[in-house]
Amino acid sequence: MADNNKNPHECPDTGHEWDGIRELTNPPPRWWTIALYLSGLLVLVYFILYPSLPLVTGNTKGILGWTQIKEYKEDLAKIEEKRAPFEDRIAAMTAEEILEDDELLRYAVGSSKVLYGDNCAACHGVGGYPQPGSGYPILANDDWLYGGTVSKIIETLAKGRQGMMPAHANLLTEEEVDGLVEFVVNSANGEATDAQWKLYNEKGCVACHGADAKGIQQLGSANLADKVWRFSGEPDEIRHTILHGVNDANDPLTRVAVMPAWNERLAVRLEAEEFGDDPEDYYDGTETERLSENEIKKLAIYVHQLGGGE
């Protein structure tokens, strides 16, 4: 109507009227018409330049040859180019040496946040704090089943862990189970009695958990003398663990606690180097590498820096 200033009562109409409202035949504003034609032209230009129309076996490619995957790979290549000097240095240095290099330490921790989120957080939680009672170890404290040095963390990541506690349902009387439950509760509070210590030793618990009940890192056995609970500190839950064990294949009610290996090839190499042997003599070609050695090294440093590293 911007182009027609005549009295609306004198404008031609379509002959339609609703509730006293006439449908006029005035054209739309010229600017609107121009914009409509330009938008159609823009669509045509887009169809020519970019992938657009689906076909039976694919789609039109566009004269620019642009794709989202291509753009992603180009951007990724730029990022990897910037990271390359740091990654090369990490590959050439030990984890202990990286911890002493402030610049490289910051890079390792920063670039590991996504690695941790993608591969570790589902079990160990954000910031190393899993859900209480989930059975996954806390990574942000000083309680380590196998040791918390950065080299030991690398070993844990590479080879995985699967500790084992046998089920005692058929080995202990109900009274003995009750006594051991009380021992674990009291030991965590530093209040275990002489009688409870005697029961602990007589029933063989000392063989795995140590003379001081603080666990043996070589075995990955739990520290019973602190208040850090792998599963739960409730008496009924402690009783369940004693009765059914952990990873006991003979007990269907056993607790399952398995950490997968993230780089079996690295694990084999570390084992060979420990004995001064050639790693090539140990490889059988079936070793998996879910994470690269550099990624394992950076994740170990990240976990070490969460606050629980030794």
Residue 124 annotated as lining a ligand binding site: yes
Residue 11 annotated as lining a ligand binding site: no
CB 59 within 8 A of CB 52: yes
What are the start-end ranges of the H helices in the chain?
30-49, 68-92, 95-99, 102-119, 121-124, 150-159, 174-188, 194-202, 206-209, 235-244, 264-274, 293-303
- Cα 133 to Cα 301: distance, rounded to the nearest angstrom: 26
Number of other residues whose CB lies within 10 A of the CB of residue 206: 15
- Cα 226 to Cα 297: distance, rounded to the nearest angstrom: 29
CB 112 within 8 A of CB 291: no
Q: Which residue ranges make up the annotated binding site?
A: 120, 123-124, 165, 205, 208-209, 259
Q: Which residue ranges make up the annotated binding site for heme c?
A: 120, 123-124, 165, 205, 208-209, 259
